[in-house]
């Protein structure tokens, strides 16, 4: 399929745009009775011309000041313009207005046609061309071809054909969008064909039979058929004019300015973040809460301004703004808009959409402004850095793809060197992860230094300490990585460095004290000394007793009835399980009293001992009796943080 270039034919009223299009294509673009009677274009006109290398679609835009909306609609989505200037009248007010609007919409290429050459004396031709070049100085058409021609005599038409075919080859590429976006500039019905909508297709292709949606109304529709240049096609490629037959909506249901797109690809919104460029000749600055008429795609909306990071935008300046609307709108990141004041009606500047799905603005958030500033620059790496800074090291691939106007898979691949995947959508900065891991290890080391006799530190203590340095998600991610890599040993709510050994920190005196406490516990069996008495075993008694518990050589149990904490040596509890098995063989049941007698202890100790054996799976309680669990065998030692 040959390429298509859509260009807008723009210029002042009565400068010969429609006549030129008719002479070039043989198509009469003035179709309405009023247009024919007045000799004045009111609505958009459409024509095309085929060349060996492709097709040029021409959108004839009304030149009268009263029809600026139609002109903007026609120029939106085009890749070039055909600027028409009368040889006898020169640049008019609307010539400059149209040229300015085209530039605000991002058009960067075109051809200039000086029409009505048959009314010009030969001696005046050079002066007219020089004057035209001077008027174009400083505009995007400076240096572009200028063709002197006449739609009446046909002079210069061959040169114009050559220039248009060359323009077809050198015009900028189609707008970079991941999926199709068709702003609807007309909707009507044809007997036998049903509802038809037309527009200049952006982004991806349209396919006959595809399920689509109209936005911002959200109405689901199906493509019945596609037509380009008067021919039925199965697929319509972006960059050209397309007519779409729809099933699921009548022409009256579809408003001019709605967008045909794939379900879920673009969402309607009540606010859009933009960068505004206020014209240098604007009569006054833009201020917070000002209202503007926003012309974009084939629609126009009234929006109120929420200036971001500043109080006003002076003429000639740029600024970040959130546009808010009373009813839902539809836009895409990178879309350009023309801004006009509602009254008096005048073009005051343009805007570029930076985020078509933002949250409502909440004051001057520096990180949010940094994201929008990076989006305005269009640099993916800067944008990724700004998003990560805003969200604690994380970024959404979906959001980054939207803001950068790239495919999610391309974004993910581009970021692999500096970000690591977290889940289906989020990635996290490798720098941020490494910093969080280092902070995690440093904090754990500090906990060990503060309590050298503790086997482990409370995990929540470390998380709380790091809360002010990194986001909760980043701290949790670093923690998971450290545990998976073996850099920390995480057991329940406790954590330790692999090399941390509190026993190695004991002095000779403390080691001897530890051995005395353990001996008293071991000798006490199932009637051990009180905790207070054990803690009084020297200056570090309490800490050393806790160390025995942490290392699994002792177990702390609670007698809830007496509100007492009891500490048993692990060997005594293992021996208790073996003694019960011997006393009540073959899974025989026993009561608490029978167990107390068999183990030769008191009620103060027997209840917490039996409850502990229940939790270990050594015994099983059935109402008021218990039995030894078949197959249970006590094993020497136990699992501890030091194991």
Q: What is the 3-state secondary structure (H, E, C) of 547-593?
A: HHHHCCCEEEEEECCCCEEEEEEHHHHHHHHHHHHHHCCCCCEECHH
pLDDT at 29: 63
For range 475-487, the mean pLDDT? 94
pLDDT at 346: 84
**What are the structural domains, with CATH classification, of the chain?**
4-170 (3.40.50.300), 181-261 (2.40.30.10), 271-361 (2.40.30.10), 365-500 (no CATH), 506-628 (1.10.10.10)
571: pLDDT strictly greater than 90: yes
DSSP state, residue 183: E
pLDDT at 162: 95
Highest mean pLDDT out of 14-18, 56-60, 594-598: 594-598
Q: Where are the alpha helices (DSSP H) in 467-540?
A: 472-484, 508-524, 531-535
> Mean pLDDT in the chain?
88
Which residue did the predictor score with more confidence, 159 or 4?
A: 159
pLDDT at 37: 40
Q: What whole-number percentage of the chain has pLDDT above 70?
A: 93
**Nearest residue to 408 via CA among 432, 427, 433:** 427
Query: 433-473: per-residue pLDDT in tens?
Result: 999 999 999 999 999 998 888 888 999 999 999 988 888 88
For range 133-142, the mean pLDDT? 94
Q: What whole-number percentage of the chain has pLDDT above 90?
A: 59
Query: 147-179: per-residue pLDDT in tens?
Result: 999 999 999 999 999 999 999 999 888 777 878
33: pLDDT strictly greater than 60: no
Give dist(CA 404, CA 354) in Å, integer.
Answer: 9
**Nearest residue to 315 via CA among 283, 291, 275, 340:** 283
32: pLDDT strictly greater than 50: no
Residue 121: φ, ψ to 5°: -70, 145
Q: Residue 334 region, left (φ>0) first, then alpha (ψ -120 to 50), else beta?
A: left
For range 278-299, the mean pLDDT? 91
**3-class state of residue 55 by DSSP:** strand
pLDDT confidence bin for 30, thresholds 50/70/90: low
**3-class state of residue 297 by DSSP:** coil
134: pLDDT strictly greater than 60: yes
pLDDT at 52: 92
Report yes or no: 220 and 201 within 8 Å, Cβ to Cβ: no
Query: 324-355: per-residue pLDDT in tens?
Result: 999 999 999 989 999 998 878 788 999 999 99
pLDDT at 641: 35
Query: 593-604: per-residue pLDDT in tens?
Result: 999 999 999 999
554: pLDDT strictly greater than 70: yes
pLDDT at 452: 86
Does the global pTM surpass 0.85? Answer: no
Query: 395-439: per-residue pLDDT in tens?
Result: 999 999 989 888 889 999 999 999 999 888 999 999 999 999 999
pLDDT at 191: 82
For range 29-56, the mean pLDDT? 64
Query: 388-399: per-residue pLDDT in tens?
Result: 988 888 999 999
For range 306-317, the mean pLDDT? 92
Residue 215: φ, ψ to 5°: -120, 145
pLDDT confidence bin for 633, thresholds 50/70/90: low
Residue 231: φ, ψ to 5°: -120, 140
**Nearest residue to 171 via CA among 240, 221, 123:** 240
What is the DSSP secondary-structure string of 124-145? GHHHHHHHHHHHHTTSTTTTS-
Give dist(CA 272, CA 254) in Å, integer.
Answer: 23
**352-365 as b/e, with b when 16 or more CB fall inside 10 Å?**
bbbbbbbeebeeee
640: pLDDT strictly greater than 60: no
For range 242-258, the mean pLDDT? 92
pLDDT confidence bin for 637, thresholds 50/70/90: very low
DSSP state, residue 102: H
pLDDT at 634: 58
pLDDT confidence bin for 643, thresholds 50/70/90: very low
Give dist(CA 287, CA 265) in Å, integer.
Answer: 33
pLDDT at 468: 84
pLDDT at 638: 42
pLDDT at 106: 86
Which residue did the predictor score with more confidence, 321 or 66?
A: 321
Give dist(CA 318, CA 543) in Å, integer.
Answer: 66
Query: 194-225: per-residue pLDDT in tens?
Result: 899 998 898 889 999 999 999 999 999 999 99
Angle ∠(481,482,488) on CA atoms, nearest 5: 150
Range name among 16-25, 170-179, 251-260, 562-571 with the lowest pLDDT average: 170-179
Residue 20: φ, ψ to 5°: -65, -45
HSE toward the beta carbon, residue 538, CA cutoff 13 A: 14
395 C-beta neighbours (distance < 10 Å), count: 28
613: pLDDT strictly greater than 90: yes
pLDDT at 364: 54
pLDDT at 27: 84
535: pLDDT strictly greater than 50: yes
């Amino acid at each position: 399929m040959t390429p298509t270039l859509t260009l807008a034919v723009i210029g002042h009223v009565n400068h010969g745009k429609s006549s030129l299009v008719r002479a070039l294509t043989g198509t009469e673009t003035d179709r309405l009775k009023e247009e024919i009677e007045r000799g004045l274009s009111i609505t958009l006109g459409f024509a095309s011309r085929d060349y060996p290398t492709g097709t040029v679609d021409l959108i004839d835009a009304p030149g009268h000041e009263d029809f600026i909306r139609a002109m903007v609609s026609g120029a939106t989505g085009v890749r070039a313009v055909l600027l028409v200037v009368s040889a006898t009248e020169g640049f008019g007010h609307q010539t400059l207005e149209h040229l300015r609007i085209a530039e605000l919409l991002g058009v960067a290429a075109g051809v200039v046609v000086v029409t009505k050459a048959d009314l010009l004396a030969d001696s005046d031709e050079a002066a007219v061309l020089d004057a035209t070049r001077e008027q174009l100085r400083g505009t995007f058409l400076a240096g572009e071809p200028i063709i002197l021609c006449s739609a009446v005599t046909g002079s210069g038409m061959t040169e114009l054909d050559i220039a248009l075919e060359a323009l077809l080859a050198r015009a900028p590429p189609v707008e970079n969008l991941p999926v199709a976006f068709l702003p609807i500039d007309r909707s009507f019905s044809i007997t036998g064909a049903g509802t038809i909508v037309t527009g200049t297709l952006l982004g991806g292709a349209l396919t006959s039979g595809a399920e689509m949606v109209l936005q911002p109304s959200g109405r689901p529709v199906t493509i019945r058929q596609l037509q380009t240049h008067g021919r039925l096609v199965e697929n319509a490629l972006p960059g050209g004019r397309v007519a779409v037959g729809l099933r699921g909506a009548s022409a009256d249901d579809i408003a001019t300015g709605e967008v045909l797109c794939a379900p879920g690809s673009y969402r309607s919104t009540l606010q859009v973040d933009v960068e505004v460029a206020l014209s240098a000749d604007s009569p006054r600055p833009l201020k917070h809460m000002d209202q503007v008429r926003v012309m974009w795609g084939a629609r126009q909306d009234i929006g109120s301004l929420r200036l971001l990071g500043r109080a006003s935008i002076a003429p000639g300046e740029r600024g970040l703004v959130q546009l808010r609307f009373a009813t839902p709108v539809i836009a895409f990141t990178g879309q350009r808009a023309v801004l006009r004041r509602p009254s008096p009606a005048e073009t005051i500047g343009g805007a570029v959409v930076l985020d078509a799905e933002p949250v409502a603005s909440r004051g001057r958030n520096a990180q949010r402004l940094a994201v929008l500033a990076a989006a305005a620059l269009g640099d993916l790496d800067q944008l990724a850095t700004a998003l990560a800074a805003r969200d604690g090291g994380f970024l959404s691939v979906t959001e980054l793809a939207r803001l950068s106007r790239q495919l999610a898979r391309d974004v993910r691949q581009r970021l692999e060197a500096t970000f690591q995947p977290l889940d289906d959508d989020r990635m996290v900065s490798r720098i941020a992860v490494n910093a969080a891991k280092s902070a995690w290890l440093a904090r754990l080391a500090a906990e060990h230094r503060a309590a050298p006799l503790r086997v482990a530190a409370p995990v929540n203590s470390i998380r709380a300490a790091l809360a002010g340095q990194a986001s909760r998600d980043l701290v949790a991610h670093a923690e998971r990585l450290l545990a998976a890599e073996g850099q920390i040993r995480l057991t329940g709510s406790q954590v330790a460095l692999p090399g941390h050994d509190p026993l190695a920190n004991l002095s000779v005196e403390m080691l001897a004290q530890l051995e005395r406490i353990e001996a008293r516990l071991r000798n006490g069996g199932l009637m051990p000394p009180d905790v207070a008495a054990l803690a009084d075993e020297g200056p570090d008694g309490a800490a050393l007793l806790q160390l025995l518990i942490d290392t699994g050589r002792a177990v702390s149990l609670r007698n809830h009835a007496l509100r007492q904490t009891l500490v048993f040596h692990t060997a005594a509890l293992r021996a208790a399980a073996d003694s019960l098995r011997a006393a009540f063989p073959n899974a025989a049941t026993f009561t608490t009293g029978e167990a107390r007698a068999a183990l030769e202890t008191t009620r103060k100790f027997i209840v917490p001992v039996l409850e502990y054996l229940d939790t270990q799976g050594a015994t099983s309680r059935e109402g008021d009796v218990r039995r030894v669990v078949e197959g249970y065998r006590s094993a020497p030692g136990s699992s501890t943080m030091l194991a």
